[in-house]
Amino acid sequence: MKKRLLILNKMLKPDTGGVEEVVEQHRRILASRFEVTAWGAKSTERNSSKETERTEDDYGTQVRFRSFFQVAALPVSISYTIEYFRRVREFDIVELHLPFPIGALLCLLFPPKKLVIVWHSDLLRPAILKPLITGIDKRLIRSADTIICTSNNLLRNSDTISGHLHKSTIVPIHSTPTEKSKRPSEIGESQAPFILFFGRLSYYKGIDVLADAINLYDGKWRFVIAGKGDLSARLRTQLDRPNVLLLNRAISEPEKSWLFENCDALVFPSQHKTEAFGIVQLEAMSRSKPVINTALPTGVPEVARDGLEGLTINLQSPDELATAFKKLENSNLREKLGENAQVRATSVYDERVIGEQLLEAFIELDKPK
């Protein structure tokens, strides 16, 4: 009989985000060994009158709990909390994705039988609550059986988990591009060469640096910026230029696929440690596209390496970013970086390789200490 595994995160797909994508990957991989249940709150945008929504598929059960409001993008759900206290001891293992302050507090107050923590990033906001939340995380991490981190850089440089190397393991993220493709209606059939930004228009994504760099750049590239977020209005003002197309809306998976297939490069200018990996880098790399990223102390520059699969610039450097745009006008360089990127994405970050690493981390739980 399979052991029972409960995966806890603040939200689940179809609420989109890097962490939600990792939860989905883990759910699919671990279903071969465990009876998997995943819990998440519904975003306030997707709330319904139902207190809980339960769905079943080939990879187990997903339960989405009604949330009443959000604090700093964190949905607050009473039913999620009640269900945890009522049922957590039914499960042999809990996999908790952090940062998720409510989930951390629940696991600290009522510990599961075995706890696996998947560490995504150090918490930066809200700053006023950071000492309290970090204190809870550190206390919980001391009691965890295993810590999974997505990159060596993040593990070494995290203020919270770097002291627990003895029980930490690296399991990166993989990308699974959809085969369906659909051109966004805003883009003409004969689209000029363009560099793509894809993601949330939020402070940690380096939107201001990107805007400044585009305004400094004088060359052949057009820029497509796809996503929405709290900096949308500012970006529209800063980049009112004919060579910039802003797709300020939710992008479907087929549209996303088209953008990655048809761009010439991806720009990934994140500026804060909140950006721990950058799965969209793999989306581009798997399609032989180079990446411009930043020298964050996380997994970001490990995925696409400077001079090998892309170009890495220093933080807060719009001049360097504009220069990188200029360098990628060289088709030979662009082709070389793109070829390397495709090889790395389909070898180091292959789904089968990542799956074996994740399963091995859970197999280690059953070995005598």
- Give me the phi and psi of 188, to 5 degrees please: -70, 165
58: pLDDT strictly greater than 90: yes
- Closest to 304 measured CA to CA, from 175, 217, 192: 175
Based on the fold, state whether residues 164 and 289 are members of the same structural domain.
no
The number of domains in the chain is 2
The mean per-residue pLDDT over the stretch 353-358 comes to 94
Q: Considering the chain, what is the average pLDDT of its residues?
A: 90
Based on the fold, state whether residues 141 and 261 are members of the same structural domain.
no
Based on the fold, state whether residues 235 and 138 are members of the same structural domain.
no
Following DSSP, what letter does each residue of 174-220 receive, concatenated? -----S-----TTS-SSPPPEEEEES--SGGGTHHHHHHHHHH--SS
Give the tens place of pLDDT for each residue, 227-272.
Answer: 988 888 888 888 888 899 999 998 988 999 999 999 999 999 999 9
Rounded to whole angstroms, how far apart are CA atoms 242 and 110? Answer: 56
25: pLDDT strictly greater than 90: yes
Work out the pLDDT band at 61, boundaries 50, 70, 90: very high
Based on the fold, state whether residues 292 and 316 are members of the same structural domain.
yes
Based on the fold, state whether residues 247 and 302 are members of the same structural domain.
yes
Q: What is the maximum span of the chain, computed from C-alpha positions, in angstroms?
A: 63
Based on the fold, state whether residues 339 and 356 are members of the same structural domain.
no
Based on the fold, state whether residues 361 and 290 are members of the same structural domain.
no
Please state whether the predicted TM-score (pTM) of the whole model is above 0.85.
yes
Q: Is residue 313 a part of any domain in this protein? A: yes
Work out the pLDDT band at 44, boundaries 50, 70, 90: low
Rounded to whole angstroms, how far apart are CA atoms 171 and 160? Answer: 18
Q: What is the pLDDT of residue 69?
A: 66
Q: Is residue 181 a part of any domain in this protein? A: no
Q: What is the pLDDT of residue 72?
A: 58
Q: Is residue 167 a part of any domain in this protein? A: yes
Strands (E), the chain: 3-8, 34-41, 52-57, 60-65, 69-71, 74-76, 93-98, 115-119, 146-149, 168-170, 194-198, 222-226, 244-247, 265-267, 291-294, 310-313
Peptide bond into 126 cis (omega under 30): yes
Q: Is 228 exposed, middle or buried (0-12, 13-18, 19+ CB in 10 A)?
A: middle
Q: Is residue 324 a part of any domain in this protein? A: yes
Work out the pLDDT band at 195, boundaries 50, 70, 90: very high
Q: Which of 49-53, 156-160, 323-327 has the highest mean pLDDT?
A: 323-327
Give the tens place of pLDDT for each residue, 63-99.
Answer: 999 877 666 567 778 899 999 999 999 999 999 999 8
Q: Is residue 21 a part of any domain in this protein? A: yes
Q: By residue range, what is the domain housing residue 243?
A: 194-345
Rounded to whole angstroms, how far apart are CA atoms 172 and 217? Answer: 34
43: pLDDT strictly greater than 80: no
Based on the fold, state whether residues 160 and 17 are members of the same structural domain.
yes
Q: Is residue 91 a part of any domain in this protein? A: yes
Based on the fold, state whether residues 356 and 324 are members of the same structural domain.
no
CATH value at residue 86: 3.40.50.2000
Q: Is residue 281 a part of any domain in this protein? A: yes
Based on the fold, state whether residues 15 and 104 are members of the same structural domain.
yes
Q: What is the pLDDT of residue 50?
A: 73
Q: Is residue 187 a part of any domain in this protein? A: no
Q: How far is CA 85 from CA 108, 174, 245, in A?
A: 11, 33, 48
Based on the fold, state whether residues 335 and 243 are members of the same structural domain.
yes
Rounded to whole angstroms, how far apart are CA atoms 368 and 358? Answer: 19
Based on the fold, state whether residues 105 and 20 are members of the same structural domain.
yes
The mean per-residue pLDDT over the stretch 92-112 comes to 95
